Amino acid sequence: MGKSRYEPLVKLKKKSLDNAERALIGANNALSSASDKLNSAYEYLSHMTLPTHGSVREFSQVTALIQAQHLSIEQCQHTLQAAQLKQVQMREHFKQAMIDYEKFKYLEVQEMNAQIKALKNQEAKMLDEIGTMIYKREIL
């Protein structure tokens, strides 16, 4: 039985599917990392306290640190939103790659089944022909 004409396309779609899967895994990792950074930024902020006594200079330094931490949290939130968007895009890309792969895999299987059916029909005809030849020999 010969090769399917869809075999190269199936291989190409499988490669595309694998690449999409790796990209989705990367997006999931980036999302997890961004989420962890945001959580740690909130944790760090929760441990910051304003001094109850001391100089105005110390008070302004701590206030500046708290403001810097708030900016860091905002950046982490933006990074998290971008990672979420990227993950959604990669998930859609993976779904589309999976659908394309399954389509061509189905077509390949259908073609293989058609080839098998054709071979079975050809074999049945050959067996009929051999049976006819044997029958004619027995008559003679």
Tens digit of each residue's pLDDT (9 = 90 or more) over 93-107? 999 999 999 999 999
Rounded Cα distance, 108 and 10, in Å: 8
Rounded Cα distance, 23 and 124, in Å: 50
- Report in angstroms the alpha-carbon separations of 110 from 3, 4, 107, 113: 13, 10, 5, 5
The reported pLDDT for the residue numbered 55 is 84
Q: What is the mean pLDDT of the chain?
A: 91
Over residues 75-92, the mean pLDDT reads: 96
pLDDT band, very low/low/confident/very high, at 137 (cuts 50, 70, 90): confident
Rounded Cα distance, 20 and 94, in Å: 5
Whether residue 77 has pLDDT greater than 90 = yes
Of 28 and 57, the structure prediction assigns the larger pLDDT to 28
Over residues 135-139, the mean pLDDT reads: 77
Whether residue 78 has pLDDT greater than 70 = yes
Rounded Cα distance, 77 and 30, in Å: 13
The reported pLDDT for the residue numbered 135 is 81
